[in-house]
Structure formats: structure tokens, C-alpha cells
Amino acid sequence: MRGRFLVIEGVDGSGKSTLARHLVEQLAAAGHEPLHIREPGTTQIGERVRDLLLASDREPMDSRSEALLFFTSRNELLRKEIEPALAAGRPVICERFTPSTLAYQGQEDASAEFILALDQLVVAPEVQPDLVLILDLEPSVSLARAETRSTPDAFEARGIGFLEAVRAGYLKYAAARPELTALMDVHDSSPSEVLEQALEHLKALNLP
């Protein structure tokens, strides 16, 4: 049987990596061999594209050029890691995927259409995510959390107004796809409570 494809989304500082790590532990304990990956990156080309996109000193790029680069990293990841893992029956946990591109690069209607068209071309129907968990957090809270960890990347450096639009993009994505998404309010949740909530949603996929 094909593996299940789970995507974790949310602004920086919302707890994606922590949740991904905890889910990997749960799945492994139940006898699965989960693949844990992140976007952009994981493959060698993906990491190089990541360095280019996230450099805080780069010149501004058209949002479609950014989207094309994110899809370059995504295509490499799909062909080299995601498709083989799903075909081998392994669950895949990916931090960020097309919903990130819609939320960050697709804030204008024309860019969103461009991104949805790219998604149709690059992501075959059988490798579309089975579930998108969105960790919802106000940017003022997420920025404060993220600031204690690292210097802001090219996107975080755009400030709170941009991140508020990113959050709105996620909410819009979830509202348009209720059967695919689980919107999780993580303002007052501990990491173990977030894990509990996520495991409830995974039951629909017969996981762990």
C-alpha cells in the first residue's frame, strides 16, 4: 500500500519542526519507517536553492521567480525522496509544501493562479498531500518566538504586515479545502497538546 503524505504548515516559530519530530517518533514506535523532510531543501539542489532564496542580502525578486525556485526545490524533492518513499509504503512528513508558496508568494490573485497552475504541472495527483496540518499562530507571537532562535531570513525580514498576510493566506487555504486541511490553534498549546491534536487528525488516515 502507498504511504501517506503529511504536510505541516505555519509561520516560522509556530512549532512545525517540534511537531514533525514528535510525529516521527510516534510513527517509528508503531513500526513505520517515516521519512522526515523540509522545504526548501533536503536534496543538494534544494539546499542550494534554499541558500539563494533565504539570503537576507539578496536583491528583491519578482514573486513568480521566487515561486519557480521553490518549485525547483519541490520537484527535486518529489522525484528523489517523496515519490520513492510513498511507493515503498513509508509515511512522509514534510515541513512546508505548496501551501507555503501560496501563502508567501501568492498574496496577489494573479500570483496565486500562477502557483496553482505550477502545482498542477509539478505535483502529480498521486503525490498530492493526504493531510495538511496548519499550525495557526499570530505573527506577533511567532516573531517573538523565532527571534530568540535565529536571525530573520529574507521573508521574515519583510515584517509583521507581510506575516499577517501569510497567516491570512493559510486561513484562506484551509477554508477552501476543509476535507484536506486541519487548522490547529496553537496559541495556548504545549508541544504535547499539539501532538495530541495532530494524532487525532491522523486517525482519519489510519495512522499511526
Q: How many C-beta atoms lie closer than 10 Å to residue 167's C-beta?
A: 20
Which residues, 6 or more positions from 94, have their beta carbon under 8 angstroms from its beta carbon? 5, 6, 7, 8, 37, 38, 39, 77, 82, 129
How far is residue 97's CA from residue 67's CA, in Å, rounded to a whole number?
A: 11
DSSP assignments along 115-142, one per residue: HHHHHHHHS-GGGS-SEEEEEE--HHHH
The grid cell for 168 is 491570512
Could you tell me which residues are beta bridge partners of residue 143? none
Question: Does the footprint of ligand TYD cover residue 130 (CB under 6 A)?
Answer: no
Identify residues 8-27 at the interface with ligand TYD (CB under 6 A): 12, 16
Q: Which is nearer to ligand TYD, 119 or 130 (CB)?
A: 119
From residue 67 to residue 86, the character string flagging contacts with ligand TYD as x (rule: CB under 6 A) and all else as - is: ---x----------------
The least CB distance from residue 4 to ligand TYD, in Å, is 20
Question: Does the footprint of ligand TYD cover residue 36 (CB under 6 A)?
Answer: no
Question: Does the footprint of ligand TYD cover residue 155 (CB under 6 A)?
Answer: yes
Encoded amino acid at 168, one letter: A
Candidates 32-40, 80-88, 133-141, 190-198 — which segment interacts with ligand TYD by CB under 6 A?
A: 32-40
Candidates 23-31, 95-103, 106-114, 125-133 — which segment interacts with ligand TYD by CB under 6 A?
A: 95-103
Question: Does the footprint of ligand TYD cover residue 111 (CB under 6 A)?
Answer: no
Task: Choose which of 105, 111, 181, 197 interacts with ligand TYD (CB under 6 A).
Answer: 105
In the block, which residue shows the cell 476543509? 178
The least CB distance from residue 125 to ligand TYD, in Å, is 20
Say if residues 91 and 34 touch (Cβ distance below 8 Å).
yes
The least CB distance from residue 31 to ligand TYD, in Å, is 29
Task: Choose which of 42, 43, 72, 101 interacts with ligand TYD (CB under 6 A).
Answer: 101
Helix (H, G, I), strand (E, B) or coil at 6: strand
DSSP assignments along 63-115, one per residue: HHHHHHHHHHHHHHHIIIIIHHHHHTT--EEEE--HHHHHHHH--SHHHHHHH
Question: Does the footprint of ligand TYD cover residue 40 (CB under 6 A)?
Answer: yes
Question: Does the footprint of ligand TYD cover residue 100 (CB under 6 A)?
Answer: yes
Binding site for ligand TYD (CB under 6 A): 12, 16, 38-40, 54, 70, 96, 100-101, 104-105, 153, 155-156
